[in-house]
Amino acid sequence: MKHIVLILVIVFSCVGVKAQFTMPFEELVHEGTWLQWPHNFTYGFGASDVEPAWVEITAALIGGEKVHIVAYDENHMTHIEDLLIGASVSLENVNIIVAENDDFWIRDNGPIFVYDSESQLTVLDWGFNGWGGNAPYALCDDIPIAVAAHLSIPLIDLNEMVLEGGAFEVDGHGTIMATRSSVTGADRNPGWTESQIEGYMEEYLGVTNFVWFDGLFGGIQDITDQHIDGFAKFQGNNTIVTMSHIDLSYWQVSVSDIALLYNSANSSGEQFEIVVLPLTQNDVTTTWGENVGTRASYVNYYVANNVVLVPNYNDPNDDVANEIIQGLYPDRAVVGIDSRNMFLNGGMVHCITQQQPIGDTGVGLHELEDLNQDRVIGVFDFLGRTVDNPTPGVLYLWLYESGFVKKGLAH
């Protein structure tokens, strides 16, 4: 977990960002990851086709962080536990809560975790309307409430503005990328000006530098209306992971949006470096042989504490993409997640995960009951600066020799 020191320094150095709330970068150390487990209560079928991917994800994550799972009801929770036990997945770091929900795309409908001005972990409850009314959503819209209640942390009701988690990317330095088609459109936020939307994002996400792509209204072919996390992702200090011009065109990204992406600048005015991932070589085919009819993206990966979960499709380019991504995250292990059946439903790994940053208790690969057995090797403020003489009563980030990181007051 030596990479945590670098991550803390990078992620919290949001120079110039003045906001009441700040959303930490995905690469920052997590307390855990949230999943909504597939079920048949909404559509009557399909859960068993995709559940193996949720089992794979849980197995990959539990060595480095907790896995929080939303089950539909008590019977569904028992079913999930039986599945995991049957796959020899330990339940030690698995936490399951019961809350009725419509679907499994928790990135879009679930909680967005931020820190308030006093570094208190807080849940933002943005509005969710089923991607502009294209799918059932009433139950999913209430999931942030259930999560905040379960964690006993503050909840901010922002339902007056619709914002899906996959519709934006933040870099931890004040920059946000988003497509207008999935945020500012009349089916998401009618009557809102772009300036008003930016005002909310500034206050609640802690961003000041907006990279707006026009995007594309996808109709029934892409009900997300071209979410940003399908084709562009921030990495490290000043990098965007995306695709080639040709593959972006295949992904129906416009010429003007491609030019903007390749020439976009961070909050300091410096142009982002670009790393290119391929699309799959072939159209994706499900495990039962159905051709989805399109090639798939690897950009929709998820960065966890000690692994990076990458969508894989039983395609020759799986190894190519995995190797490139492994090079970007040398201190984490790339784990390919079979996303063929998931992709038939329109999404990939990032779409079904949501990170929970560390709260008051902290997280680590080896959490010790008595931290006196562990040695503090670094203290940081929330701008990532090393603190040599902590001030009593002030909240800091404490890094232990074992890799454990916690928030706590100096005494």
Please compute the mean of the pLDDT values over residues 385-400 and round it to a whole number.
74
151-160, 207-216, 284-293, 379-388: lowest mean pLDDT where?
379-388
323 with 391, same domain? no
Q: Is residue 50 one of the residues assigned to a domain?
A: yes
**pLDDT exceeds cutoff 90 at 367:** no
Q: Is residue 250 one of the residues assigned to a domain?
A: yes
Please compute the mean of the pLDDT values over residues 278-299 and round it to a whole number.
98
Q: Is residue 19 one of the residues assigned to a domain?
A: yes
The model scores a pTM over 0.85: yes
345 with 382, same domain? no
Q: Give percent above pLDDT 90 in the chain.
A: 78
Task: Give catalytic status of residue 14 as yes or no.
Answer: no
Residue 262's domain is classified under what CATH number?
A: 3.75.10.10
Q: Is residue 340 one of the residues assigned to a domain?
A: yes
Alpha carbons 125 and 128: distance in angstroms, whole number: 9
Alpha carbons 400 and 364: distance in angstroms, whole number: 9
**Burial (0-12, 13-18, 19+ Cβ within 10 Å), 170:** buried
339 with 223, same domain? yes
Please compute the mean of the pLDDT values over residues 15-40 and round it to a whole number.
85
Structural domain for 379, as ranges: 371-409
150 with 16, same domain? yes
Q: How far apart are the first and last CA of the chain?
A: 26
Number of structural domains found in the chain: 2
Last residue of a domain, one of 333, 357, 381: 357
276 with 377, same domain? no
**pLDDT exceeds cutoff 90 at 244:** yes
Give the type of residue at 36.
Q
403: confidence class by pLDDT, cuts 50, 70, 90: low
**pLDDT exceeds cutoff 70 at 222:** yes
318 with 378, same domain? no
**pLDDT exceeds cutoff 50 at 109:** yes
Please compute the mean of the pLDDT values over residues 266-288 and round it to a whole number.
97
What pLDDT score was predicted for residue 32? Answer: 96
9: confidence class by pLDDT, cuts 50, 70, 90: very low
Q: pLDDT tens for residues 319-345?
A: 999 999 999 999 999 999 999 999 999
Q: Is residue 273 one of the residues assigned to a domain?
A: yes
385 with 344, same domain? no
Q: Is residue 366 one of the residues assigned to a domain?
A: no
When the pLDDT of each residue in the chain is averaged and rounded to a whole number, the result is 90
What pLDDT score was predicted for residue 38? Answer: 98
- Spot the catalytic one: 223, 351, 399, 405: 351
What pLDDT score was predicted for residue 376? Answer: 83
Please compute the mean of the pLDDT values over residues 258-275 and round it to a whole number.
97
Q: Is residue 365 one of the residues assigned to a domain?
A: no
What pLDDT score was predicted for residue 129? Answer: 97
**CA distances, 198 to each of 38, 94, 265 (Å):** 33, 36, 17
Q: Is residue 311 one of the residues assigned to a domain?
A: yes
336 with 189, same domain? yes
**pLDDT exceeds cutoff 60 at 1:** no
Distance of CA 197 to the CA centre of its chain: 21
140 with 277, same domain? yes
**pLDDT exceeds cutoff 70 at 2:** no
345 with 380, same domain? no
252 with 212, same domain? yes
What pLDDT score was predicted for residue 227? Answer: 98
**pLDDT exceeds cutoff 70 at 409:** no
Which of the pair, 221 or 392, is modelled with greater confidence?
221
7: confidence class by pLDDT, cuts 50, 70, 90: very low
What pLDDT score was predicted for residue 276? Answer: 98
What pLDDT score was predicted for residue 361? Answer: 56
Please compute the mean of the pLDDT values over residues 308-321 and round it to a whole number.
98
166 with 57, same domain? yes
What pLDDT score was predicted for residue 397? Answer: 73
